[in-house]
Amino acid sequence: MYFYAARQPILDKNKALFAYELLFRDSIDNIFPDIDGDEATTKMVEASQFNMGINEFTGNKPAFINFTLETLSQGYATMLTNEEVVVEILETVKPGKKLLAICKELNDKGYTIALDDYEHQSVWGHFYPFIQIIKIDFQQTTVDEIKVIKKAIESYPHIKLLAEKVETHEEYNQAVALDFDYFQGFFFSKPEMVKAKNLSPSQIAMAELLYETSKPDLDLTSITAVFERDVSLSYKLLRYANSPIFRRRSEISTIKQALVILGSAELKKFIALMFATTANPDKPSELITMSMARAKFCELVAPLMKTQGDTSMAFLTGLLSMIDAILDESLESVLAKLPLAKEVTEPLLTGKGTMAAIIKQLELIEHAEWDKAMLVMEKLQLDKEKTVECYNQALAWADEQASQMT
Write a three-state SS string for the chain. CCCCEEEEEEEECCCCEEEEEEEECCCCCCCCCCCCHHHHHHHHHHHHHHCCCHHHHHCCCCEEEEECHHHHHCCHHHHCCCCCEEEEECCCCCCCHHHHHHHHHHHHCCCEEEECCCCCCHHHHHHCCCCCEEEEECCCCCHHHHHHHHHHCCCCCCCEEEEECCCCHHHHHHHHHCCCCEEECCHHHCCCCCCCCCCCHHHHHHHHHHHHHCCCCCCHHHHHHHHHCCHHHHHHHHHHHCCHHHCCCCCCCCHHHHHHHHHHHHHHHHHHHHHHHHHCCCCCHHHHHHHHHHHHHHHHHHHHCCCCCCHHHHHHHHHHCCHHHHHCCCHHHHHHCCCCCHHHHHHHHHCCCHHHHHHHHHHHHHCCCHHHHHHHHHHHCCCHHHHHHHHHHHHHHHHHHHHHHC
CB 392 within 8 A of CB 295: no
- Quick one: average pLDDT of 208-233? 79
Q: What local confidence, expressed as pLDDT, does residue 248 receive?
A: 64
Above 60 in pLDDT, residue 189?
yes
pLDDT tens column, 229-275: 877 788 888 888 877 666 666 677 788 888 888 888 788 778 877 77
- Quick one: average pLDDT of 117-125? 94
Q: pLDDT band at residue 400, thresholds of 50, 70 and 90?
A: confident
pLDDT tens column, 27-54: 444 443 344 455 554 555 555 543 456 7
Above 70 in pLDDT, residue 295?
yes
- Quick one: average pLDDT of 293-320? 85
CB 218 within 8 A of CB 267: yes
Q: Where are the domains of the chain?
A: 5-189, 201-405
Residue-averaged pLDDT of the chain = 83
Above 60 in pLDDT, residue 195?
no
pLDDT tens column, 136-170: 999 999 999 999 999 999 999 999 999 999 999 89
pTM of the model: 0.80
CATH 3.20.20.450 corresponds to the domain 5-189: yes
Q: Which of 191-200, 208-217, 332-341, 397-406 has the lowest mean pLDDT?
A: 191-200
Task: Quote the distance between the C-alpha of residue 181 and its chain's center.
Answer: 19
Angle between helices 384-405 and 255-279 (to 10 degrees): 100
Task: Quote the distance between the C-alpha of residue 395 and its chain's center.
Answer: 8
Q: What local confidence, expressed as pLDDT, does residue 370 receive?
A: 83
pLDDT tens column, 281-292: 777 888 888 988
Q: pLDDT band at residue 350, thresholds of 50, 70 and 90?
A: very high
